[in-house]
């Protein structure tokens, strides 16, 4: 059985500082995975490098045995909410329809099927009545649900979500996690960059502990314990980061 | 970017600085010379100074070559010229309206406005455009001749020993100028009346028109000269200016455009281009006229102008203007109303912007009074 | 002069059409910059183009005076090169040297423009006849545009319009969410490269008409004006182009008509266009429906008035009837509000007293309900102290919508009393 998301020996640098160092893991299909680590651990970078948004130094990435180019249409990426200009003149429905742009050629029009898919995705996330609203009028939770709807409309096999639970209310959080569990039940693989440690056990099946290097990757019960937490968040781990910083400084002449 | 490419990029950027910097200003005044040092702003004045002063005077000109005297600003090296000069002779009447030049003249203890002295003696002979005086007096050799005496008396004032020397040379110069004036007059007048119309780049030739282009006793001579840019050619054109010229060409059936040596040819090119679209065959003269600048001596340049104008206007070519009826009636209407599309010489016209322009010349004109109700009477 | 002549007369048609096309291209690119939040780049590009333009003229002058008519080409090539270098300098400063975008833009602008001025004064020494070509670059010279320029600007406008039209979807996605755009396979690098060159060419070509100093105005003003009118990206682009073209046309018309009417006032066309564009932007900011300052102030005024009216009604409701003088004492600014309430039929006068009508009583009751519901919500659900909630409820009672009221009722389980043990008026059953 091909792994949904397989990474081998991934090295990513940013300005001569190592952000990801020799990261290797593989995630099977149909699991809900939390990527956990301290700030600056490279969690977002891991997602970005997998999608080609950031160029890695070296490494091999496979999606169900296929390269990124072949698998692109089956991957949905939900970036951080703050990366977007919420003052942009666009309605909720138009944002969801954007999910369909990937599979349209430059000259093909959006068809009725696309619009219906968008509407049903909005219905799934409970945002149907906001269809014609400007995105600037949405609350944080509504914005996140909108992004999720856009991802759903892409009909992917793999979801990559970057900090979806940051800065949203509890009710929305519950709604979203229910939705993710439903998607998992349909056989989708969902990878989430997560920051709230207490909820890991409750929400997720698998956990990927990251702090520039991979600490552990596996079912929550197996890897999410004190020793690994110490390795990820503890002082021992911080040492590596300090050393990396020093190296970066001396290489830039400071 | 590799080091080599960086180096190349930087040197490409800095290379022009080296090229331009290589042009050193070679005409500096030597301080140890015992001759009188006269600084003239324009070459037309400098030439006269050389002729009158001879070996007793070292003359330098501020605005060299093809530079525009109207908007000239001081550059590196001018300071030394100014400080070393015993006397600065400038044109005045608003010609040198670059702020640094005006300030420089004011500061210098000894400065003299040549055109303004002519104006003081012959106020009627000065032409006005609205409330702005036209400073291009040198285009009329007979009037510029009147500049010789003031120059002579200034030189005598500074160097009383050379009095007889200067006076003798002044006489020779005045005679030469008289002869040239007559020659130019005859040359231009040989052009048939119908063809004797001049169109150049900017308003430098009004005095020329009044003296040489006008037929005997003609009052309406102003129509014989037109140009798209105003008294000071700074390029801020309005399409109306160009249209007026084209209409003028039609009304008087003019076929030749004369570019000037130091004014941009854009406006002339555009007029010729528009003419082509309207099916008139306009000829742009291949030679340049000297309006604001000189080549060779002043008299040579004036003679050159006359020769070029005569040659190009006197061609025996059939008039090939093809007007469509609508345009023709428009023009006939304009002709019947009469008058010149380019009011010149009427100092009593309401000219709001002329006031603005005049106030900008305040440094040079302050204290000398702008005579608003002076208009030119026929010579 | 009738309008058609501006498009047919051989002298007028080139400036008019040329400027219209040029402004269309510039304003479309300006709209793109607006959504990328990088409008000031246009200022840096136009100023960085100056030294290259001067150098171009200088190089051409070396070939001889007869090539003066090719100045346009020399200026175009030189300006493109130096503004390209300027942009590279800016991106180098931002990316490699970690300098923030504002100082990087200013640095490039000042250094390049200063270099240009230096070169221009040097040109005075070496090739004085060409100086006038260079001087006209600062403020442009639209009047002497020829039919060739119509073709050039027309092509540019066509390129910009086609790009935005045919590439609308990738452009929209890119401008909204760059990361997402890349993730779905949009070739963001190619799109951004095309935008880069279209922007560069629009600015560099426009310098001939409007000049280095004012060019950025033609990018900024139409974009700002357009944004005030619409919440749809397509409409904003369209309006940008429209306002740009309109400024180009009106600028030409006004400069000619004013010169015709007042013989001595000569306003050059380029600056006039920018003036018109800026005026359009200003009027849009003030008077656009919905977002315009004027309407916002009006709406705010109406809201405040409504608050006073509702407060007055509440005050009367609590006491059944109130004396005129006492009302004036309690609500000092209420005379106009009272007048309106009487007109609207919520209130009537009875001798010295003011009373609520039947409708007024219902409406006042609804407001009091909102006030007390909100107080209860704050104390019960959010744990606020009862003494503190009054002030907040005073504001919220005017703002809560019927939908929110319904949800409040549900959440609080249809309460009967507020935290101060006062009865909550029941909802009117329709």
Q: What is the pLDDT of residues B359-375, one digit of tens each?
A: 433 333 333 333 332 23
Domain ranges, residue A88: 72-204
Does residue A242 belong to any structural domain of this protein? no
Looking at chain C, which residue has its C-alpha nearest residue B276?
C10
Which CATH superfamily, name and number, covers C5-288?
A: ABC transporter involved in vitamin B12 uptake, BtuC (1.10.3470.10)
pLDDT for A14 equals 82
User: Does C186 contact A102 at a Cβ distance shorter than 8 Å?
Assistant: yes
User: Does C58 contact B351 at a Cβ distance shorter than 8 Å?
Assistant: no
Q: For chain B, list the domains and their CATH numbers.
A: 36-173 (3.40.50.1980), 184-350 (3.40.50.1980)
Does residue A13 belong to any structural domain of this protein? yes
Mark whether B and A touch (3+ CB pairs within 8 Å): no
Between C257 and B3, the more confident residue is C257
The CATH number linked to A195 is 3.40.50.300
Is the confidence at residue B32, as pLDDT, over 80?
Answer: no
**Any chain C CB within 8 A of the CB of B270?**
yes
Predicted confidence band at B323 (pLDDT cuts at 50, 70, 90)?
Answer: very low
First-to-final CA distance of chain B: 73
pTM score: 0.81
- Give tens-digit pLDDT for B155-192: 999 889 989 999 999 999 999 999 999 999 988 888 88
Output the average pLDDT for chain B. 78
C-alpha distances in angstroms, C383 versus C51, C351, C360, C389? 67, 46, 33, 10
Output the average pLDDT for chain C. 89
pLDDT for B326 equals 52
> How many whole angstroms from its chain centre is CA B281?
28
Phi, psi of C177 (to 5 degrees): -150, 90
Q: Domain boundary at A65, A91, A114, which?
A: A65
Does residue A166 belong to any structural domain of this protein? yes
- Give tens-digit pLDDT for C28-63: 999 999 999 989 999 999 999 999 999 999 999 888
Looking at chain C, which residue has its C-alpha nearest residue A135?
C231
- Give tens-digit pLDDT for A106-144: 677 888 989 999 999 999 998 999 999 999 999 889 999
Between A225 and B185, the more confident residue is B185
Phi, psi of B35 (to 5 degrees): -70, 165
Is the confidence at residue B337, as pLDDT, over 60?
Answer: no
% pLDDT > 90, chain A:
54
**Any chain C CB within 8 A of the CB of B33?**
no
Over residues B221-249, mean pLDDT = 84
**Any chain C CB within 8 A of the CB of B346?**
no
Q: Which residues of C touch B17 (CB under 8 A)?
A: 118-119, 122
**Is residue A26 domain-shared with residue A77, that is, in the same domain?**
no
**Is residue A91 domain-shared with residue A61, that is, in the same domain?**
no
pLDDT for B43 equals 92
CA atoms of A9 and A61, how far apart (whole Å): 9
What is the interface pTM, i.e. ipTM, of the complex? 0.88
pLDDT for B137 equals 92
Q: How far is B146 from chain C (nearest CA, A)?
A: 30
Is the confidence at residue C360, as pLDDT, over 80?
Answer: yes
Please name the residues in contact with C10: beta carbons below 8 A apart, sequence gap of 6 or more. B246, B273, B274, B275, B277, B278
Is the alpha carbon torsion for C399, C404, C405, C408 positive or negative? negative
C194: number of Cβ within 10 Å? 15
User: Does C259 contact B238 at a Cβ distance shorter than 8 Å?
Assistant: yes
DSSP assignment, residue B374? -
Closest CA to B260 of B282, B236, B293, B232: B293
Question: Residue B243 is nearest to which of C11, C118, C146, comparing CB atoms?
Answer: C11
Q: Which residues pair with A189 in a beta bridge?
A: A158
3-class SS of residue A217: strand
Question: Which of A15, A93, A94, A101 is the best residue to mutate to test the C interface, defined by the most C CB atoms within 10 Å of its own CB?
Answer: A101
**Is residue A88 domain-shared with residue A110, that is, in the same domain?**
yes
**Is residue A18 domain-shared with residue A91, that is, in the same domain?**
no
Closest CA to A141 of A116, A98, A117, A177: A177
**Is residue A124 domain-shared with residue A175, that is, in the same domain?**
yes
User: Does C146 contact B273 at a Cβ distance shorter than 8 Å?
Assistant: yes
Does residue A220 belong to any structural domain of this protein? no
Closest CA to B270 of C147, C249, A222: C147
Please name the residues in contact with A207: beta carbons below 8 A apart, sequence gap of 6 or more. A33, A34, A36, A200, A216, A217, A218, A219, A220, A223, A224
Q: Per the structure block, which two tokens stand in for C129?
A: 């006849």
Of the CA atoms within 13 Å of residue B166, those in its CB half-sphere come to 23
**Is residue A200 domain-shared with residue A81, that is, in the same domain?**
yes
Q: Domain boundary at A163, A187, A204, which?
A: A204
Q: Range with the lowest mean pLDDT among A90-99, B35-44, B198-207, C321-330?
A: C321-330
Is the confidence at residue A152, as pLDDT, over 90?
Answer: yes
User: Does C268 contact B237 at a Cβ distance shorter than 8 Å?
Assistant: yes
| Most confident among B228-232, C166-170, C337-341 (mean pLDDT) | C166-170
**Is residue A127 domain-shared with residue A199, that is, in the same domain?**
yes
**Is residue A82 domain-shared with residue A179, that is, in the same domain?**
yes
Closest CA to C228 of C175, C301, C303, C296: C296
Over residues A189-218, mean pLDDT = 91
**Is residue A163 domain-shared with residue A179, that is, in the same domain?**
yes
CA atoms of B98 and B96, how far apart (whole Å): 6
Closest CA to A106 of C185, C180, C164, C170: C170
pLDDT for B68 equals 85
**Which pairing describes strands B283-284 and B256-257: parallel, antiparallel, or unpaired?**
parallel
Phi, psi of C12 (to 5 degrees): -85, -25
Question: Residue C179 is nearest to which of A53, A91, A150, comparing CB atoms?
Answer: A53
Does residue A232 belong to any structural domain of this protein? no
Please name the residues in contact with C161: beta carbons below 8 A apart, sequence gap of 6 or more. C24, C25, C28, C241
| Most confident among A91-105, B27-41, B224-238, C311-325 (mean pLDDT) | A91-105
CA atoms of B339 and B343, how far apart (whole Å): 8
- Give tens-digit pLDDT for B80-89: 888 888 999 9
User: Does C233 contact A83 at a Cβ distance shorter than 8 Å?
Assistant: no
pLDDT for B351 equals 39
CA atoms of C158 and C152, how far apart (whole Å): 10
Phi, psi of B153 (to 5 degrees): -65, -30
Longest CA pairwise span in chain A (Å):
59
Please name the residues in contact with C399: beta carbons below 8 A apart, sequence gap of 6 or more. none
- Reported residue count of chain A is 254
Is the confidence at residue C87, as pLDDT, over 60?
Answer: yes
**Is residue A174 domain-shared with residue A147, that is, in the same domain?**
yes
pLDDT for B236 equals 77
Q: Which residues pair with A77 in a beta bridge?
A: A160
DSSP assignment, residue A100? T
Is the confidence at residue C268, as pLDDT, over 80?
Answer: yes
Closest CA to B201 of B143, B142, B136: B136
Is the confidence at residue B56, as pLDDT, over 70?
Answer: yes
Q: Which residues pair with A7 in a beta bridge?
A: A25, A61
CA atoms of C242 and C220, how far apart (whole Å): 14
First-to-final CA distance of chain A: 50
Q: Which residues of C touch A51 (CB under 8 A)?
A: 182-183
Q: Which residues of C touch B292 (CB under 8 A)?
A: none
Does residue A252 belong to any structural domain of this protein? no
Is the confidence at residue B345, as pLDDT, over 50?
Answer: no
Chains that touch A (3 or more CB pairs under 8 A): C
**Which pairing describes strands A32-36 and A206-211: parallel, antiparallel, or unpaired?**
parallel
Q: Which residues of B touch C69 (CB under 8 A)?
A: 265, 269
Q: Range with the lowest mean pLDDT among A183-192, A243-252, C95-104?
A: A243-252
Q: How far is A42 from chain C (nearest CA, A)?
A: 16
Is the confidence at residue B103, as pLDDT, over 90?
Answer: no
Over residues C201-207, mean pLDDT = 92
Over residues C197-218, mean pLDDT = 92
User: Does C141 contact B237 at a Cβ distance shorter than 8 Å?
Assistant: yes
User: Does C85 contact B9 at a Cβ distance shorter than 8 Å?
Assistant: yes
Does residue A229 belong to any structural domain of this protein? no
CA atoms of B117 and C321, how far apart (whole Å): 93
Does residue A176 belong to any structural domain of this protein? yes
Residue carrying the six token digits 């400098």: B46
Residue C142 near residue C210 (C-beta atoms within 8 A): yes
DSSP assignment, residue A210? E
**Is residue A18 domain-shared with residue A138, that is, in the same domain?**
no
> What percent of chain B is helix, strand and coil (3-state, nearest 5)?
50, 10, 40
List the beta strands (DSSP E) in B128-177. 128-129, 132-133
pLDDT for A240 equals 64
DSSP assignment, residue C265? -
Is the confidence at residue B354, as pLDDT, over 60?
Answer: no
Contacts with C, B 154-213, CB within 8 Å = none
CA atoms of B374 and B119, how far apart (whole Å): 11
**Residues of chain C contacting A, Cβ within 8 Å:** 35, 37, 166-167, 169-170, 172-173, 175-180, 182-186, 227, 230-233, 235-236
Residue B198 near residue B209 (C-beta atoms within 8 A): yes
- Count of structural domains within chain A: 2
Buried b (16+ CB within 10 A) or exposed e, A130-155: beebbbeebeebbbbbbbbbbbbbbe
User: Does C144 contact B130 at a Cβ distance shorter than 8 Å?
Assistant: no
Domain definitions of chain C by residue range: 5-288, 296-356
**Is residue A81 domain-shared with residue A141, that is, in the same domain?**
yes
**How many cross-chain Cβ pairs, B to C, lie less than 8 Å apart?**
126
Is the confidence at residue B15, as pLDDT, over 60?
Answer: yes
CA atoms of B42 and C169, how far apart (whole Å): 63
**Any chain B CB within 8 A of the CB of C85?**
yes
Is the confidence at residue C140, as pLDDT, over 70?
Answer: yes
CA atoms of C50 and C42, how far apart (whole Å): 13
Over residues B43-50, mean pLDDT = 92
Is the confidence at residue C69, as pLDDT, over 90?
Answer: no
How would DSSP label each residue in A35-68?
A: EE--TTSSHHHHHHHHHTSS--SEEEEEBTTB-H
C-alpha distances in angstroms, A141 versus A125, A127, A191? 11, 11, 19
First-to-final CA distance of chain C: 65
**Which pairing describes strands B57-61 and A213-219: parallel, antiparallel, or unpaired?**
unpaired
Question: Residue B267 is nearest to which of C115, C119, C144, comparing CB atoms?
Answer: C144
Over residues A30-54, mean pLDDT = 91
Helical spans, DSSP H, in C211-334: 215-227, 233-261, 269-287, 293-319, 324-330
Residue B141 near residue B177 (C-beta atoms within 8 A): yes
Please name the residues in contact with B68: beta carbons below 8 A apart, sequence gap of 6 or more. B233, B262, B263, B292, C128, C131, C132
Q: Which residues of C touch A104 (CB under 8 A)?
A: 169
User: Does C182 contact A104 at a Cβ distance shorter than 8 Å?
Assistant: no
CA atoms of B289 and B307, how far apart (whole Å): 10
């Amino acid at each position: 059985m091909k792994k949904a998301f397989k990474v081998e020996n991934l090295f990513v640098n940013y300005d001569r500082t190592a952000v990801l160092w020799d990261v290797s893991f593989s995630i099977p299909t149909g699991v809900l995975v939390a990527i956990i680590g301290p700030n600056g651990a490279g969690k977002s970078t891991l997602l970005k490098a997998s999608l080609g948004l950031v160029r890695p130094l070296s490494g091999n990435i496979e999606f169900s045995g296929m390269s990124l180019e072949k698998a692109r249409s089956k991957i949905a990426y939900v970036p951080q909410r703050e990366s977007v200009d919420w003052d942009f003149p666009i309605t909720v429905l138009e944002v969801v329809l954007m999910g369909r742009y990937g599979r349209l050629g430059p000259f093909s029009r959006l068809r009725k099927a696309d619009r219906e898919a968008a509407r049903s995705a909005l219905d799934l996330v409970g945002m149907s009545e906001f269809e014609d609203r400007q995105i600037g009028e949405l609350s944080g939770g509504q914005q996140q649900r909108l992004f999720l709807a856009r991802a759903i409309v892409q009909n992917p096999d793999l979801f990559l979500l970057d900090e979806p639970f940051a800065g949203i209310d509890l009710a929305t959080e519950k709604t979203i996690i229910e939705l993710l569990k439903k998607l998992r039940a349909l056989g989708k693989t969902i990878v989430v960059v997560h920051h709230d440690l207490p909820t890991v056990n409750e929400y997720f099946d698998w956990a990927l502990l990251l702090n520039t290097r991979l600490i552990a990757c596996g079912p929550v019960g197996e890897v999410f314990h004190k020793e690994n937490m110490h390795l990820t968040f503890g002082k021992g781990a911080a040492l590596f980061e300090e050393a990396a910083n020093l190296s970066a400084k001396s290489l830039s002449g400071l | 970017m590799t080091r080599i490419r960086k180096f190349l990029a930087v040197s490409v950027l800095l290379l022009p600085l080296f090229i331009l910097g290589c042009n050193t200003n070679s005409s500096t005044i030597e301080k140890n010379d015992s001759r009188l040092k006269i600084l003239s702003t324009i070459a037309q004045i400098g030439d006269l100074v050389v002729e009158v002063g001879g070996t007793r005077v070292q003359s330098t000109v501020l605005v060299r070559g093809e530079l525009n005297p109207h908007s000239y600003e001081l550059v590196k090296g001018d300071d030394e010229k100014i400080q070393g000069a015993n006397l600065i002779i400038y044109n005045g009447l608003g010609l040198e309206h670059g702020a640094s030049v005006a300030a420089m003249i004011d500061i210098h203890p000894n400065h003299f406005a040549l055109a303004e002295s002519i104006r003081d003696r012959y106020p009627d002979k000065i032409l006005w455009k609205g409330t702005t005086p036209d400073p291009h007096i040198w285009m009329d050799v007979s009037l510029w001749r009147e500049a010789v005496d003031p120059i002579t008396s200034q030189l005598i004032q500074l160097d009383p020993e050379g009095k007889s020397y200067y006076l003798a040379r002044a006489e020779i110069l005045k005679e030469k100028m008289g002869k040239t004036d007559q020659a130019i007059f005859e040359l231009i007048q040989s052009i048939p009346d119908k063809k004797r119309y001049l169109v150049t780049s900017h308003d430098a030739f009004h005095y020329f028109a009044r003296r040489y282009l006008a037929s005997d006793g003609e009052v309406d001579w102003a129509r014989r000269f037109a140009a798209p840019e105003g008294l000071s050619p700074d390029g801020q054109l309005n399409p109306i200016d160009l249209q007026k010229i084209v209409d003028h060409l039609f009304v008087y059936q003019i076929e030749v455009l004369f570019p000037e040596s130091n004014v941009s040819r854009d406006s002339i090119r555009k007029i010729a281009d528009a003419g082509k679209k309207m099916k008139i065959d306009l000829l742009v003269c291949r030679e340049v006229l000297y309006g604001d600048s000189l080549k060779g001596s002043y008299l040579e340049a004036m003679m050159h102008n006359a020769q070029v104008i005569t040659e190009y206007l006197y061609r025996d070519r059939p008039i090939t203007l093809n007007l469509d009826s609508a345009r023709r009636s428009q023009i006939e209407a304009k002709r019947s109303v009469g008058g010149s599309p380019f009011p010149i010489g009427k100092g009593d016209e309401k000219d709001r912007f002329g006031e603005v322009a005049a106030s900008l010349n305040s440094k040079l004109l302050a204290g000398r009074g702008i005579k608003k109700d002076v208009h030119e009477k026929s010579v | 002069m009738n309008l058609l002549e501006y498009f047919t007369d051989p002298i007028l048609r080139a400036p008019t059409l040329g400027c219209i096309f040029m402004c269309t291209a510039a304003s479309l690119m300006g709209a793109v910059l607006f959504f990328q939040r990088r409008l000031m780049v246009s200022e840096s590009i136009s100023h960085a183009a100056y030294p290259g333009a001067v150098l171009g003229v200088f190089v051409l002058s070396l070939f001889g005076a007869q090539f003066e008519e090719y100045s346009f080409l020399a200026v175009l090539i030189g300006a493109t090169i130096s503004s390209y270098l300027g942009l590279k300098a800016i991106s180098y400063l931002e990316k490699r040297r970690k300098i923030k975008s504002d100082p990087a833009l200013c640095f490039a602008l000042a250094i390049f423009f200063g270099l240009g001025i230096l070169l221009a004064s040097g040109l005075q020494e070496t090739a004085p006849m060409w100086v006038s070509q260079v001087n006209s670059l600062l403020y442009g010279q639209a009047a002497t545009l020829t039919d060739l320029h119509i073709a050039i600007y027309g092509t540019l406008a066509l390129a910009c319009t086609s790009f935005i039209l045919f590439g609308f979807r990738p452009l929209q996605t890119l401008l909204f969410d760059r990361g997402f755009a890349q993730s779905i396979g949009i070739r963001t690098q190619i799109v951004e490269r095309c935008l880069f060159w279209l922007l560069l060419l629009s600015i560099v070509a426009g310098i001939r008409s409007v000049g280095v100093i004012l060019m950025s105005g033609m990018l900024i003003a139409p974009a700002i004006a357009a944004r005030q009118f619409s919440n749809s990206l397509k409409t904003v682009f369209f309006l940008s182009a429209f306002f740009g073209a309109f400024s180009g046309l009106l600028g030409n018309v006004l400069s000619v008509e004013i010169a015709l009417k007042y013989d001595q006032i000569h306003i050059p066309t380029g600056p006039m266009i920018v003036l018109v564009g800026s005026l359009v932007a200003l009027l849009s900011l003030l008077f656009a429906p919905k977002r315009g300052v004027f309407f916002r102030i009006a709406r705010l005024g109406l809201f405040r008035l409504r608050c006073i009216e509702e407060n007055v009604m509440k005050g009367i409701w609590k006491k059944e009837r109130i004396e005129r003088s006492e009302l004036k004492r309690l609500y000092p600014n209420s005379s106009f509000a009272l007048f309106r309430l009487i007109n609207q039929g919520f209130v009537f006068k009875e001798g010295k007293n003011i009373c609520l009508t039947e409708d007024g009583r219902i409406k006042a009751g609804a407001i009091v309900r909102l006030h007390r519901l909100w107080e209860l919500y704050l104390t019960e659900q959010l744990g606020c102290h009862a003494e503190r909630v009054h002030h907040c409820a005073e504001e919220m009672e005017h703002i809560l919508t019927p939908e929110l009221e319904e949800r409040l009722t549900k959440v609080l389980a249809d309460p009967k009393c507020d935290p101060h043990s006062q009865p909550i008026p029941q909802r009117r059953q329709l």
